[in-house]
Amino acid sequence: MDIPTLFLIIALTNILLAVAMLSMADRPGHEAMGPWALATAANACAYLGFIWQADMVHPLHPLLLLVSNGLVAVWLALIGEGFHRFYRRRQPWARWLPWVPLPIVLVGLLPLLDNFQGRVLFTAIILAGQTLILLLIVVRHRDDTPGRGQIIITISLAVLLLLLILRALMAGVGSLRGATDILQTNALQVFTFQAGLLVLILMALGMIVMAQERATQILAASEKRFRILFEESRQPQTLMDRQGRFTAANPAALDLFHHPSAESFIGGSLSDFAPPMQPDGRASVDHARDMCRRTLDRGGHEWEWQGLRSNGEPFDALLMLTAIHYEEQPLLHVAWNDITRRKAAETQLRINEEKFRTFVEDANDIIYTLNLDGTFQYLSPNIREILAQDPEDFLGGYFAAIVHPDDLPACQVFLERLLTTKSKQSGLEYRVRHKTAGWRWHVTNASPLFDKDGTIIGMLGIAHDITERKRQEARMIHMAHHDPLTALPNRTLLFNRLDQIITGNRKIDDMLALLFLDLDKFKPINDTHGHAVGDLVLQQAARRLLDAVRETDMVARIGGDEFIIMLPAIRQMEHALLVAENIRQTLQAPFCINGLELGISTSIGIAFYPEHGQDSQTLAQHADIAMYHAKQSGADRICLYEPTLPAAIR
């Protein structure tokens, strides 16, 4: 056989082996197949390159020769990369060691491109060293995956090493004298390449066998771990075949069914250990067959099932079925969760709810239940009359859907406190949404709900409408902080607000102005026309003052015909003076009351924070001093406080 034909056979063999290896690369334990498939592909390209360069007369001929020899080194380096992945080696130097000969080959061949015998000797020596590295790697890890695959690879690498040494000796003693190209037929060349083909096939076979042995090893270890977990698990677990017959049961499963040994359990079907009919009315045989079929189709499924213990006692269980392969057989793994107590609690809860619903149908207050996460489980029907809401619109929803957003934090704290203390809570006031009449105030008392084991499962609440009471309270609070005649803030509310603003203004640069007003010529109106007319004058004066200031300003009546106006957040004193002048002119306009045309004026004193006082009392006192100074200076005047004002006035 001539060498070009032999090279073509080697290349095609490499390609077939690469395809075969690549098809197995995604299987467990076959991580090394990817690099090994690339290695055989690189070897195929190398031999195709040798064939091509022999028939090529072109300036790129030396480059192709260099690349072909380099691909042979890449073949061995990628085999080493496969070993690195197969043995899971962690040393970086060990991973790159098989790649070191590649640059040596590429650089060392440059001066030998026209010397065939020198090329053969050089590449044989370098590739022999590379093969020796691979052989040492395999021998060093001989205990990782002992078996036929490792023996085959060791033998093939050893034979490859001998062939490379033989080829180096051939070149060294002159057996290749007269040959100028690798494709020239020579008995020793033909022998080494034929032996190389056998080594190549043998090595690929060893790689595949070794990967299969590793996969078997992994599967055996996995099955061993599964068996240990299966046997020692406290959760009842069973295995069934495709027909639904039990093949294995762990001790926890035998305890669940009250069976003394596995022999009385194995071989029976799922329906053999169940009542004839399931709680949903289906026959147990049909139900079990359907469970097995769906699990095999979907890979896993979850069902509720009623089984029978060996003494005939029924129990409820949640089954989690999973289709698995164990000991090379398709099986169904079943995990059993005993939910007998839970089902009994659910049944009892339904009974209790029916009794509860009957009890509260005609109640005047809204009765409701919430579960642990705050969702409504029950709302009494009278919510239709009290809030014009349909209870079905809120069942299963979070209570925030009906509660005012500003009251949600207090409601959440109330619920958390009840669940934490597990005791009755009362007195929570909050607003709820009326479908047509806006927000209504409710007060609620609530008690925890427990199941028969004493575990808290929610709360029961009774809500009563207190909207009218809250309105009365709001009116009382308003009366306590407002002047009943003019509805303006009174002294208490003014100074509370003034103290808050002064405390806040200490952190910023805004000024605040306090205007102290006393109505001039008001007492004669009271004396001449009576208090009824005087009251009307005060009410009109209050409206004029409100119209003369900003919404952020505050106008307060502090008694008789005295008013205080607070101007927060002003930048310049001139602003306060302009407002004061506008007020003075506004109050000069005649007051028309009951056919009478009455005239008054006002004396205004102004003090600024922080220049004229650091607290509300000092500031008001200084504004009062400035007002009296304006009044004694002829009235209908504006006076800015100064520390030099006469002491007698103070």
Using CA atoms, how far apart are residues 446 and 318, in angstroms rounded to an integer? 34
CB 277 within 8 A of CB 288: no
Q: Is the pLDDT assigned to residue 68 strictly greater than 60?
A: yes
State pLDDT tens for residues 507-528. Answer: 556 789 999 999 999 999 998 9
Per-residue pLDDT, 650: 42
State pLDDT tens for residues 345-398. Answer: 888 888 777 776 666 666 678 889 999 888 999 888 888 888 888 888 888 889
The three-state (H, E, C) secondary structure of 514-573, written as one string: EEEEEEECHHHHHHHHCHHHHHHHHHHHHHHHHHCCCCCCEEEEEECCEEEEEEEEECCH
CATH fold of 482-640 reads Alpha-Beta Plaits (3.30.70)
**Percentage of the chain surpassing pLDDT 70?**
90
Closest alpha carbon to 61 in 47, 73, 49: 49
**Percentage of the chain surpassing pLDDT 90?**
29
The dotted CATH code for 3-220 is 1.20.1070
Per-residue pLDDT, 506: 58
Q: Is the pLDDT assigned to residue 629 strictly greater than 90?
A: yes
Closest alpha carbon to 604 in 641, 555, 558: 641
User: What is the DSSP secondary-structure string of 67-128?
Assistant: HHHHHHHHHHHHHHHHHHHHHT---HHHHHGGGTHHHHHHHHTGGGTT-HHHHHHHHHHHHH
Highest mean pLDDT among 10-14, 82-86, 528-532: 528-532
Sheet-wide strand order for 329-338: 246-249, 237-240, 329-338, 314-326, 300-308
Q: 603: how many CB neighbours lie within 10 A of its CB? A: 24
Cα angle vertex 326, ends 210, 143, to 5°? 30
Residue 411 or 59, more confident: 411
| pTM > 0.85 | no
Of 90-104, 175-189, 208-222, 597-611, which gets the smallest average pLDDT?
175-189
Residue 90 or 403, more confident: 403
Label residue 186 by pLDDT band (50, 70, 90).
low
CB 168 within 8 A of CB 117: no
CB 15 within 8 A of CB 62: no
Indicate the average pLDDT of the chain. Answer: 85
Q: At what angle do helices 116-140 and 148-173 cross, to 10 degrees?
A: 160
Q: How large is the C-alpha radius of gyration of the chain?
A: 50
DSSP letter at 482 equals B
Residue ranges per structural domain of the chain? 3-220, 233-338, 346-472, 482-640
Using CA atoms, how far apart are residues 11 and 46, in angstroms rounded to an integer? 8
Per-residue pLDDT, 363: 65
- Tell me which amino acid residue 428 is: L
Q: Is the pLDDT assigned to residue 2 strictly greater than 80?
A: no
Q: What are phi and psi of 186, to 5 degrees?
A: -150, 135
Average pLDDT over residues 629-639: 92
Closest alpha carbon to 157 in 200, 120, 117, 109: 200
State pLDDT tens for residues 315-331. Answer: 999 989 888 877 667 88
State pLDDT tens for residues 385-419. Answer: 888 888 888 888 898 889 999 999 999 999 999 99
Q: Is the pLDDT assigned to residue 231 strictly greater than 90?
A: no
Q: What CATH number does domain 346-472 carry, 3.30.70.120, 3.30.450.20, 3.30.70.660, 3.40.1160.10?
A: 3.30.450.20
Query: 3-class SS at 436?
Result: coil
Per-residue pLDDT, 311: 86
Closest alpha carbon to 102 in 49, 47, 42: 42
Alpha carbon of 401 to those of 264, 294, 377, 404, 438: distances in Å? 56, 40, 14, 8, 14
Instruction: Evaluate whether 233-338 and 482-640 have a shared fold.
Output: no
Q: Is the pLDDT assigned to residue 648 strictly greater than 50?
A: no
Helices (H) and strands (E) in the chain, counts: 19, 17
Closest alpha carbon to 204 in 36, 35, 9: 36
Domain 233-338 has CATH 3.30.450.20: yes
Using CA atoms, how far apart are residues 371 and 450, in angstroms rounded to an integer? 11
Q: Give the count of alpha carbons within 13 A of 499, CB side only.
A: 6
DSSP letter at 645 equals S
Pairing between strand 511-520 and 438-450? unpaired
